[in-house]
Amino acid sequence: MSDPRELLAGLRADLRAADYTVDGVARLVGDVASAALDREQPLPALRATAGSREPGAVLLRLGTLGRTVTRGELDAALPRTGTAGAAALGLVAAAGAAPQDEVRPLVDLRPYAADDAGEPVQWWLVSDLGEVATGDVLRPDHVLGVGGASLTLASATVRTPVDRVLDVGTGCGVQALHAARHARRVTATDTSERALDLAAVNAALNEVALDLRHGSLLEPVEPGERFGLVVSNPPFVITPRTGAVPTYEYRDGGMAGDSLVAQLIGSLPSVLEPGGVAQLLANWELHEGQTWSQRVEGWLEGTGLDAWVVQREVADPALYAETWIRDGGQKPGPRFDELYAAWLDDFAARGVDGVGFGVVTLRRPARDGAPLRRFEENLAALSDPLGEVFAAGLAAHDRLALVEDLGDLRLTVAPDVTDERFHTPGDPDPRIVLLRQGGGLRRVAQVDGDLAGLVGACDGELTVGQITAGLAVLGEEAVGEVRQRLYPRVRSLVADGFLRLP
C-alpha cells in the first residue's frame, strides 16, 4: 500500500486538475443547480451531470451527491490516485476490478472555499454521507460536514493573529482549518474518535498542521495551557434524556437542557490568556418570567469575562423538535411521532416555552474593571464576515472606556452608514431619521434632528465638542444641556459602529 501522504498529495493534485472547486462546480452545473445544492437538493445537479464523463462531473456525483460511478470513470477522473488509491484512503468501495464495475462513496468529499484572515483559499473536506445521499437515518457517530452553523461561526470569528487557538468540538475540522490561517498552533478536541480521524484526513489533505486531542470539552487541555482564541461549535442541541431518543455525537453532549453550554462558558476563564477571546454557538432555553439575556447572563456570573451575545433565531418547542428530528434523517411516520412526543414532553416537564440560538463572544479582560455585558437580538440577514464587526466592537469598547471627555474626539461616519428621512407632506423637517448600516450586523438607529445633525458633521475635522456647541447656538440652548442629552447617544453610536474613533 502506498504511503497515505503520497496518496493524499496525488489526490490533491487530481482534485485541482479536475477543477473540483466551488467555482468549478458552479460552472459545471449552472446557477440553478448550484443554488439547489446549497439547499441540499441534488436533483438539478444530477440532471446537469447526467451522462457526463468530465472529471468534475464524476467527482461531483460520487463525492457530493453520493451516487455510484464506474471504476473506469473514477480512474479517469483521478489519474494519479485511481480507484485503488481512493479505496486505500477509505473514500470509496469498489465492487470489482473491471472498468465497468461500480464504485460507491464511503464518505462525502466536496470542495469548500474560504476568504477570512488572508487570501482566498480552496479546501476539500471529508465528512460522513448525509441523509440526502444515503436516504436513511444518520448513525450515532455521524460526522457532519459544513452546514449553516459552521458557516455562521466561521463568519463570526475574530481573525486577529494569535499564537495559539483551541477548537472545542472540532468535528470534521473546518473551524481548525480556518484558525490555522491566523495562528501559529491550533489544538482541536472532540469526544468522537471518528471525527478526529476525519479531521486528521482533512488537515493532511489541505496541508495544515493540527494538534488533535480526544476528550470532552476542555478535558484534553493540559494544566497551564492558555489560548488567544477559543472557538467552538459544541454539541449544543437540547435533547430529551430518554432511551427513545438517539444520541448523535455531533450535536448531543449528553447533558440535560442547555447545561452543556453553561458548563463550557463557566470553564473558559481557565484556558484564555489575558485579552483572549472565545466564540461559540449556543442554544438557550426560554422560560416564562425570564428573558433570554437573563438566562445567558446567569451563565456568566463569577467568570469575570466580557460578553457580547447576539440572538439570531428563536424557535417554539414544536418547531425545534421538528427541526432536529428531521436533521437526523427521520421521515414522517410512527417513529417520527414517537420522537416528537418525547421532545414535547421534555420541554413541558421543564417549562420551556422556546429555544434561542445565537453567537456568544467572550473575552478575558486584560485589565481590571466592570466586564462588558452586551446582549442584542438580530433576526435579520447579516453580512459576512462578522468577525471584523466583533473585533471592532471590542476595540471600540476598550477605547471608549479610556475616554474622559467625549468632546475632544474627532469622529467619522462609518463608510457603510446611510440615513433615511421620512417627511409628512408639506413639512420641511423630517418626522423620522434612520441611520442604517449597509454591512455587518445591519443595525438601524432612529435619531432625532440634533443627533442626525451631529452625525452629519462628523467628518474628522471638527471635535464632538465643537459640533455640539454649534448645535446649541442653532437651537438656542445651553451647551451643557445639549451635551448632556447627546453625548450618551454618541457613545452608543460609536459602540455600535455607526461612528468611528480616530
Q: State residue 133's pLDDT score.
A: 87
Mean pLDDT for all residues in the chain: 95
- Say yes or no to pLDDT of 452 above 80: yes
* Residue ranges with strand state E in 272-365: 272-287, 306-315, 352-363
Domain 403-500 top-level CATH class: alpha beta
Report the alpha-carbon distance of residue 176 to residue 191 in Å, rounded.
16
Above 80 in pLDDT, residue 1? no
Residues 6+ apart with CB under 8 A from 51: none
- Three-state DSSP class for residue 126: strand
pLDDT cut 90: percent of the chain above it: 90
pLDDT score, position 117: 64
Strands 92-94 and 432-437, sheet pairing: unpaired
Spatial separation of the C-alpha atoms in residues 146 and 169, rounded to whole Å = 14
- Residue 290: what are its φ and ψ, rounded to 5°? -140, 125
Which residues are within 8 A (CB) of 251 and not within 5 positions of it... i.e. 6 or more apart? Answer: 144, 235, 236, 237, 239, 324, 327
Question: Which residues on neighbouring strands pair with residue 437, listed in sequence order?
Answer: 417
Structural element, H or E, at residue 124 = strand 121-127
Q: What is the DSSP letter of 46?
A: H
Q: Residue 472 in contact with residue 482, Cβ under 8 Å?
A: yes
Assess whether pLDDT exceeds 80 at residue 292: yes
Tell me the per-residue pLDDT of 318-377, one tens digit each, with 9 for 90 and over: 999 999 999 999 999 999 999 999 999 999 999 999 999 999 999 999 888 889 999 999
Q: What pLDDT, in 10s, does the model give residues 135-170?
A: 889 999 999 999 999 999 999 999 999 999 999 999
- Predicted pLDDT of residue 167: 98
| Higher local confidence (pLDDT), 450 or 132 | 450
SS3 state at 70: strand
Q: In this predicted structure, what is the pLDDT of residue 369?
A: 82
464 vs 118: which has the higher pLDDT: 464
- CB within 8 A of 222, min separation 6: which ones? none
Task: Read off the pLDDT of each residue in 193-200 and give the average, rounded to a whole number.
Answer: 97
Nearest Cα neighbor of 437 from 414, 458, 453 is: 414
Q: Mean per-residue pLDDT for 232-256? A: 92
Nearest-angstrom CA–CA distance, 260 and 263:
5
* Mean pLDDT of all residues in 221-234: 97
- According to DSSP, the residues that pair with 111 across neighbouring strands are 124
Domains 144-400 and 403-500 share a fold: no
**Which residues, in sequence order, are CB contacts of 89 under 8 Å at separation 6+?**
4, 7, 8, 11, 81, 201
Of 189, 267, 296, 275, nearest to 229 (Cα)?
275
Give 143: exposed, middle or buried? Use CB within 10 Å, 0-12, 13-18, 19+.
buried
N-terminal to C-terminal alpha carbon distance within the chain: 61
Dump pLDDT digits (tens) for 388-421: 999 999 999 999 999 999 999 999 999 999 999 9
Domain boundaries, the chain: 4-106, 144-400, 403-500
Is the pLDDT at 2 greater than 80, yes or no?
no
The 3-class secondary structure across 444-498, one letter per residue, is EEEECHHHHHHHHCCECCCCHHHHHHHHHHHHCCCHHHHHHHHHHHHHHHHHCCC
pLDDT reading at 65 higher than 70: yes
At 131 the pLDDT is 87
Is a pLDDT exceeding 70 seen at residue 461? yes
Q: What is the pLDDT of residues 202-212, one digit of tens each?
A: 999 999 999 99
Q: Is the pLDDT score of 476 beyond 60? A: yes
- The share of the chain scoring above pLDDT 70, in percent, equals 99
Model pLDDT, residue 429? 82
pLDDT confidence of 468, banded at 50, 70, 90? Answer: very high
CATH of region 144-400 = 3.40.50.150
pLDDT score for 416: 95
Beta-carbon contacts of 169 under 8 Å, excluding residues fewer than 6 positions away, are: 189, 190, 191, 217, 232, 233, 234, 235
pLDDT tens column, 82-122? 999 999 999 999 999 999 999 999 999 999 998 886 678 89
Query: Which CA distances in Å does 198 have to 230, 354, 410, 500?
Result: 21, 34, 52, 43
User: What average pLDDT score do residues 273-297 get?
Assistant: 97
Average pLDDT over residues 180-198: 97
Give pTM, 2 decimals.
0.94
Q: What is the 3-state secondary structure (H, E, C) of 353-400?
A: EEEEEEEEEEECCCCCCCCCEEEEECCCCCCCCCHHHHHHHHHHHHHH
